[in-house]
Amino acid sequence: MARDRKTIKKEMTDAFIQNADVQTLYGLTPGSSFEQEFSLVSLENIIFEIISFCIWTHEQIVERNAQNSRPQNLPNFRAAVLNFHDGLELVWKDGAFSYDLTGVTDAEERKIIDRCAVLESDDGELVVKIATDNAGSLEPVTEPQKTRVLSYLRQIKVPGVKIRLINETADLLKVNLTVYVDPMIIDMGTGQLLNTSEEVYPVKDAIDNYLANLEFNGAFVKDYFRAEISKAEGVKLPVVDLLQWKYASLPFIDVGEWQTSNAGYFKILPENLTINYLPNVLVNS
């Protein structure tokens, strides 16, 4: 961060006044300050004012150039994607594209990209995955918004680099579970928690929690999924009988130990989730 002029001048005058040769030359009192020995109109003070101004100006230019020439690595480009403001025009200022937010009162509301992942393909293409948060549910931005996002990306990218924007509905999972539970507190038919007056479904809540906390473009890991369900109240042993995945119009296929998503996030529709509840006593029978 560039120093202010006052700091620059003080650092120079402190070094000047503490120099033994300077003290001898001027007949200065050791320990005195520059201000005590030299007036505002003295030649020495004027010289330090000029030098400090020149140094301050130079540091301002260097800092600005550093900010405008950040390397376009993946984290920086991801931050730029998240900074997209829908409906606002980019302007070229101080050597970079930016938004003029003067008088804009809804700037945060215009930032419609809530999740983003940027990857580089083997041929150097930048793959950008995005999603927006609609009341806690991730979904693609609208087609008109996608067009504007793509135009924005083409402006901020490095010339010659190809961009592939992925703005898709969630990849789907199909899950069949057998869950051994404490039959005293879990209803075998519905999976509802019985020891509370509230309507709570521990297994379904655990599934929702796992998906909600999964890193965008992160892998769905079968063991982590099973571990999350294991922590639910009343659950003794969850068994994943079936785990399948699909995206777009492709058919479901079996998942091994883990699976990444095409869209960057997953969803389990009610019709694709089957939970069979069994009393825990069957484990030891």
pLDDT score for 245: 97
**Cα dist. 259→247, 266, 268 in Å?**
12, 10, 14
Would you state the structure tokens that stand for residue 203, as one six-digit string?
Answer: 């297994």
281 versus 115: the higher-pLDDT residue is 115
Query: In which band, very low, low, confident or very high, does the pLDDT at 156 lie, cut at 50, 70 and 90?
Result: confident
The dihedral sign for the CA sequence 38, 40, 43, 44: positive
Number of domains in the chain: 3
Is residue 145 domain-shared with residue 215, that is, in the same domain? no
CA angle (73, 154, 107) in 5-degree steps: 85
Residue 119, strand partner residues: 127
Is residue 277 domain-shared with residue 176, that is, in the same domain? yes
Instruction: Give all strands (DSSP E) within 61-219, no chain letters.
Output: 90-93, 96-99, 115-120, 126-134, 137-139, 163-166, 171-181
pLDDT tens-digit series, residues 56-87: 888 877 666 555 444 457 888 899 999 999 99
Is residue 132 domain-shared with residue 175, that is, in the same domain? no
Nearest alpha carbon to residue 8 among 63, 36, 49: 49
Is residue 190 domain-shared with residue 204, that is, in the same domain? yes
pLDDT score for 124: 81
Helix (H) / strand (E) containing 225? helix 222-230
Rounded Cα distance, 89 and 253, in Å: 43
Is residue 64 domain-shared with residue 78, that is, in the same domain? no
pLDDT tens-digit series, residues 175-215: 999 999 999 999 999 999 999 889 999 999 999 999 999 99
Query: Residue 25 CA to chain centroid, in angstroms?
Result: 59
pLDDT score for 240: 97
The residue out of 122, 140, 166 marking a domain boundary is 166
Is residue 241 domain-shared with residue 182, that is, in the same domain? yes
The residue out of 136, 166, 196 marking a domain boundary is 166
Domain of residue 270, residue span: 171-284
Is residue 83 domain-shared with residue 142, that is, in the same domain? yes
Rounded Cα distance, 96 and 91, in Å: 8
What are the helix and strand counts (H, E) for the chain? 8, 13
pLDDT at 267 over 60: yes
Percent above pLDDT 90 for the chain? 61
The dihedral sign for the CA sequence 78, 83, 84, 86: positive
Rounded Cα distance, 198 and 192, in Å: 10
The residue out of 107, 142, 166 marking a domain boundary is 166
pLDDT score for 70: 46
Is residue 46 domain-shared with residue 80, that is, in the same domain? no
pLDDT tens-digit series, residues 116-139: 999 988 888 889 999 999 988 999
pLDDT at 285 over 50: no
pLDDT score for 121: 86
216 versus 97: the higher-pLDDT residue is 216
Query: In which band, very low, low, confident or very high, does the pLDDT at 2 lie, cut at 50, 70 and 90?
Result: low
Rounded Cα distance, 153 and 128, in Å: 9
pLDDT tens-digit series, residues 218-240: 999 999 999 999 999 999 999 99
Using an 8 Å Cβ cutoff, are 136 and 234 in contact? no
Mean of the per-residue pLDDT values of the chain: 90
Backbone torsion region of residue 10, taken as left when φ is above 0, otherwise alpha when ψ lies between -120 and 50, otherwise beta: alpha
Using an 8 Å Cβ cutoff, are 274 and 201 in contact? no
Residue 174, strand partner residues: 244
Is residue 125 domain-shared with residue 200, that is, in the same domain? no
pLDDT score for 152: 93
Rounded Cα distance, 97 and 89, in Å: 10
Is residue 133 domain-shared with residue 228, that is, in the same domain? no
Is residue 160 domain-shared with residue 225, that is, in the same domain? no
Model confidence pTM above 0.75: no
Using an 8 Å Cβ cutoff, are 56 and 4 in contact? yes
Is residue 80 domain-shared with residue 59, that is, in the same domain? no
